Amino acid sequence: MKASHKKLAAELACDYHVASNNSPWLLKLPVIKQVNFSEHVQELMEEGPRQIDSDTDTQAFQCTGKASDMTLIDALARRKSSREFSKSALDLQKFGQLLGLSNGLRNKVGNANDSGRNAPSAGSLCSCEMYVLALNVADLEKGIYHYDVGAHGLKQLKLGDFKEWSKRMLLLQSELCDSAAFIFLASNQGRLRSKYGPRAYRLGLLDAGHVSENIYLVSAALNLAVTATGGFIDDELNNALGLDGVDDCVVLVLAVGEPAGA
Ligand SMILES: Cc1cc2nc3c(=O)[nH]c(=O)nc-3n(C[C@H](O)[C@H](O)[C@H](O)COP(=O)(O)O)c2cc1C
């Protein structure tokens, strides 16, 4: 990228926040109060969890009972970023609990009866999708998957050993590639934008932030090591996941695994 383009990109990045401000005149528009009840928004909310078109079946996790006895207060006290991972494989059901409790349906994981999600989201549009790169998960072939919320399972997208690729092409910190798996948080910006316009960008980041904190807290409760990183090559990752980088784009990567010494 030319220096002048870099400067322009940096300025645009700074301007985005101001451009997504709500103006006071919005308060005067009666139509704003109706937005939540518009046909289009109702349709968006009724779409349900995203299904990825693929010939492969979804590998469903078992819907097991209680994942941990740890209290929320203890999980908060233990939450930390750990960058040293064990060489042991991550247990598949534990991985399922981590994904489901962080951003799944409460009636699939946990003991709630309603069909709400385990993370709040702007307009209940559930803009944060989870993709997974399995590097060392027991009973799961190495490769890239989408977390299918409705089925509480993993939909296979591409099989293969992507460890060297993630070290050389994807992450700025190669030590994180010794984790058992990456969770990629992708923002469905197109869905948010169709309701919120330019404000979608900040709402998408906030939605992903809530899921990220859930991943940290559930990891603490399951005694897993985890670290979030924003240090990844966007185009490389979006291309690998089949995302266009505009309407759907990865905004955060989390490395997870059994902690070193486990
Ligand atoms: C949005 C976000 C991006 C982060 N990016 C990185 C990163 O690129 N590399 C890294 O080692 N840690 C990263 N972290 C982890 C922070 O460094 C860590 O949360 C912080 O140092 C506080 O430590 P603690 O999580 O153990 O309390 C990130 C955390 C967040 C929330």
204 with 187: CB under 8 angstroms?
yes
pLDDT of residue 120: 95
- Residue 155's H or E segment, with its range, is strand 153-159
Q: How far is CA 180 from the centre of its chain?
A: 17
Whether 20 lines ligand 1, by a CB cut-off of 6 Å, is no
| Distance from C-alpha of 64 to C-alpha of 118, rounded to nearest angstrom | 16
Whether 231 lines ligand 1, by a CB cut-off of 6 Å, is yes
pLDDT of residue 5: 75
Q: How far is the CA of 149 from the centre of ligand 1 (A)?
A: 26
Q: Is pLDDT of 104 > 80?
A: yes
Superfamily of domain 3-257: NADH Oxidase (3.40.109.10)
* Spatial CA neighbour of 186 closest among 246, 227, 106, 109: 246
Q: Is pLDDT of 34 > 70?
A: no
Q: Is pLDDT of 108 > 70?
A: yes
Query: Among 4-8, 81-85, 139-143, 206-210, which stretch is predicted with the lowest mean pLDDT?
Result: 4-8
| Distance from C-alpha of 187 to C-alpha of 247, rounded to nearest angstrom | 8
pLDDT of residue 57: 79
In which band, very low, low, confident or very high, does the pLDDT at 43 lie, cut at 50, 70 and 90? confident
Q: Is pLDDT of 36 > 70?
A: no
Whether 17 lines ligand 1, by a CB cut-off of 6 Å, is no
- Mean of all residue pLDDT scores within the chain: 90
In which band, very low, low, confident or very high, does the pLDDT at 4 lie, cut at 50, 70 and 90? confident
pLDDT of residue 49: 82
Q: What is the mean pLDDT of residues 92-104?
A: 96
Question: Which residue is closest in CA terms to ligand 1's atom 13?
Answer: 229
In which band, very low, low, confident or very high, does the pLDDT at 131 lie, cut at 50, 70 and 90? very high
pLDDT of residue 54: 77
pLDDT of residue 119: 94
Task: Report domain extents, the chain.
Answer: 3-257
| Distance from C-alpha of 210 to C-alpha of 189, rounded to nearest angstrom | 16
pLDDT of residue 172: 94
Q: Is pLDDT of 254 > 80?
A: yes
**pLDDT digit string, tens, across residues 63-77:** 767 788 899 999 999
pLDDT of residue 79: 98
Q: What is the mean pLDDT of residues 177-185?
A: 98
Q: How far is the CA of 37 from the centre of ligand 1 (A)?
A: 39
Quick check: pTM over 0.85? yes
Q: At CA 56, angle to CA 162 and CA 241, rounded to 5?
A: 40
Q: Is pLDDT of 37 > 70?
A: no
Return the CA Rg of the chain.
Answer: 19
Q: Is pLDDT of 218 > 90?
A: yes
Whether 103 lines ligand 1, by a CB cut-off of 6 Å, is no
Whether 173 lines ligand 1, by a CB cut-off of 6 Å, is yes
Question: Which residue is closest in CA terms to ligand 1's atom 11?
Answer: 229
More confident residue, 3 or 257: 257
Q: How far is the CA of 217 from the centre of ligand 1 (A)?
A: 14
Q: Is pLDDT of 167 > 90?
A: yes
Q: How far is CA 203 from the centre of its chain?
A: 14
pLDDT of residue 32: 61
